Amino acid sequence: MSYEVLARKYRPSSFEEVVGQEHVIQALSNSILQDRIHQAFIFSGTRGVGKTTLGRILAKCLNCTSSDKPVAVPCNECVNCEEIKLGRSLDFYEQDAASQRGIDAMKELLQTVPHSPANGRYKVYLLDEAHMLTTESFNALLKNLEEPPKHVVFILATTNPEKLPKTVQSRCLQLNLKTVGGTVLSEHLQKILKSENISYDEESVDLISEAASGSVRDALTLLDQAIAHGSGILKSNNVKELLGTIDSSFLVTMVNAIIDGDGVGAYEALSKIEELSPEYDVILKSLISILHKTSVEKVLSNSSDQDIKNLAANIDDEFCQLLYEIAINSYSKFNAHPSPKEALEVCILRMLAFNPIHKIDNKNTSNDTEKKNLKTPKIDTPKTLKKDTESKKTETVNSKNKCNLKNNSDWLELFDLLSLSPFARNYFGNLSFLSFEESLITLVQPEEESNIPENVFKEFQTVLNAYYGYEIEVEIKQGDNNNSPLNHKKKIESDRQSKAEKDVLSDPSIQKFLDKYDGNIKDGSIKPVN
């Protein structure tokens, strides 16, 4: 006997065996038990989620002879159930609307509608890929959908329900099938593997489940291929080779290098990925997926992957979105580039070029290289603490008496002098000064503020080290940040705006002009002089 593929061997024969469509099963089962069977159904959903299978099961439920009325669980043993399963029932018509889409095929089908069922209670018509029917075919079908004989049930299965005419949709009960993925699909595959007595590891099953993109049929097809590829055994290494899957650890290393501005590290990770011989568009899609997972983790904190959690803690929100946009833009133009490898390399170069955060590498950088890689701020002391003597102007950065930071006013002046990236300036500009004792600076932020990304924190600490010439520790506590640099700046701008409005409104000549012409000054039109 020839081998039967898993997708056919494990095709559900009852509602209980259908995976991941509980909402549809409940609706169909209840309608049968309550004797409220609709005259026409639309089963919509992506490929391989069970549209045609549900249509066949419903036909068996309606015509099963194990009871004197339709049942929610077919016996799969009676003549009607067996004939529907084998595709030779006289009361079940399954037509491929993709190949038989014309008016002639529809007329031939509809000629059988008035006839009574041969052996069952209902005549069931299943039109697969119904959206492929021509306009004339839909017009011929309309009257039968609206007022069919009591013994007729129509089922329209489609992957594109939006292409069905509104007149057809309004006459049918539409049930939308979900994609099946995650643990639901993985558990289903493991159940089949145990039934087939095939050795496997969970990682290989998860890889197949993810590659199926929500389709049970695709998952079973891939499972067949993986079993053949692994000589009857499922191992993650073989499955990765079959699917062209990239080791995510190399991608995570590359993203971390991009975040830190380490171009050499990013390209070393890329070279290790290239050794696996994947397609370059697959590398870019995997990179996009990691950035997407990182973005979601930053908002929901629901990832079970420790690498994603670490990435989310190490990257700023805005920079993460910037990297994602660069990757998506590169992928949209990928096919237009003459060299896929160059297209990917340019994408990585663009990510490095648009990194606004200082490049920090504390592992193998000397003081000289740090000065080259970091935008070291000017080493002028704040005005309130600056000495008039020429010797103090040329004081070396290694002096611990460089800046005696005493209060928030000193902090405001120091903050303006530090050469920080926009991200670091945005985060630390919202902090107020609390204390500076020896080598420890304590700053204050409100409780509702988000945690500062690790690389932004390192940048601020490195800039302070370069400014003072020795190691500075930074501690952040919860409290009031009303005196932060950004709030101080907003207050100054608000005061200037208020003064400008007061000066204009109190000017006698302007008031005389407004009174003469019964005019008024438009809100927001008064601007302070720069």
CATH number at residue 347: 1.20.272.10
The answer on 259 and 341 residing in a single domain is: yes
- 524 located within any domain: yes
- 363 located within any domain: no
- What stretches in the chain show pLDDT beneath 70? 1-2, 357-404, 449-450, 530
Query: What pLDDT digit, counting tens, does each position of 225-241 carry?
Result: 999 988 889 988 888 88
Measured distance CA(407)–CA(391) in Å, rounded:
25
The residues pairing with 469 across neighbouring beta strands, listed in sequence order, are none
The CATH number assigned to the domain holding 405 equals 3.30.300
pLDDT, position 56: 94
- Which pairs from 173-176 meet CB under 8 Å and 24+ separation? 173/38, 173/40, 173/41, 173/42, 174/41, 174/42, 174/44, 175/24, 175/27, 175/28, 175/41, 175/42, 175/43, 175/44, 176/24, 176/44, 176/45
- 505 located within any domain: yes
The CATH number assigned to the domain holding 198 equals 1.10.8.60
pLDDT, position 92: 94
The contacts of residue 47 (CB under 8 Å, 6+ apart) are: 159, 215, 217, 218
The answer on 335 and 268 residing in a single domain is: yes
Measured distance CA(96)–CA(130) in Å, rounded:
8
Which of 130, 150, 176 terminates a domain? The answer is 176
The answer on 319 and 233 residing in a single domain is: no
- 404 located within any domain: yes
The contacts of residue 486 (CB under 8 Å, 6+ apart) are: 426, 429, 430
Helices (H), 230-339: 236-243, 248-259, 263-274, 280-300, 306-314, 317-332
The answer on 239 and 252 residing in a single domain is: no
- 394 located within any domain: yes
pLDDT, position 404: 63
pTM over 0.85: no
Kindly report the length of the chain: 530
Instruction: List the structure tokens of 223.
Output: 């499972």
Q: Number of folded domains in the chain?
A: 5
Cβ atoms of 179 and 49 closer than 8 Å: yes
The answer on 230 and 150 residing in a single domain is: no
- 362 located within any domain: no
- 371 located within any domain: no
Distances (CA, A) of 133 to 59, 139, 143, 462: 22, 10, 16, 67
pLDDT, position 94: 93
Of 387, 386, 372, 453, nearest to 414 by C-alpha is: 386
The CATH number assigned to the domain holding 25 equals 3.40.50.300
Measured distance CA(474)–CA(447) in Å, rounded:
17
The answer on 299 and 427 residing in a single domain is: no
Radius of gyration from C-alpha coordinates of the chain:
35
The answer on 290 and 193 residing in a single domain is: no
The answer on 212 and 103 residing in a single domain is: no
Instruction: List the structure tokens of 30.
Output: 């209840």
Chain centroid to CA 513: 59
- 365 located within any domain: no
The answer on 409 and 293 residing in a single domain is: no
Measured distance CA(101)–CA(104) in Å, rounded:
8
Distances (CA, A) of 54 to 41, 58, 195, 254, 317: 11, 6, 23, 45, 44
Q: Return the residue matching tokens 């129509």.
A: 154
Beta strand pairing status for 152-158 and 440-445? unpaired
Query: What pLDDT digit, counting tens, does each position of 131-141 carry?
Result: 999 999 999 99
The answer on 312 and 391 residing in a single domain is: no
The answer on 130 and 261 residing in a single domain is: no
pLDDT, position 507: 80
Which of 333, 353, 373 terminates a domain? The answer is 353
Distances (CA, A) of 259 to 263, 265, 312, 343: 10, 11, 11, 20
- The range of the structural domain enclosing residue 117 comes to 6-176
Measured distance CA(151)–CA(158) in Å, rounded:
23
Distances (CA, A) of 372 to 81, 233, 397, 425, 466: 79, 54, 16, 21, 12
Instruction: List the structure tokens of 14.
Output: 């009852």
Which of 156, 176, 196 terminates a domain? The answer is 176
The answer on 125 and 83 residing in a single domain is: yes
User: Helices 236-243 and 202-211: crossing angle, nearest 10°?
Assistant: 20
Query: What pLDDT digit, counting tens, does each position of 392-409 carry?
Result: 333 433 444 455 688 888
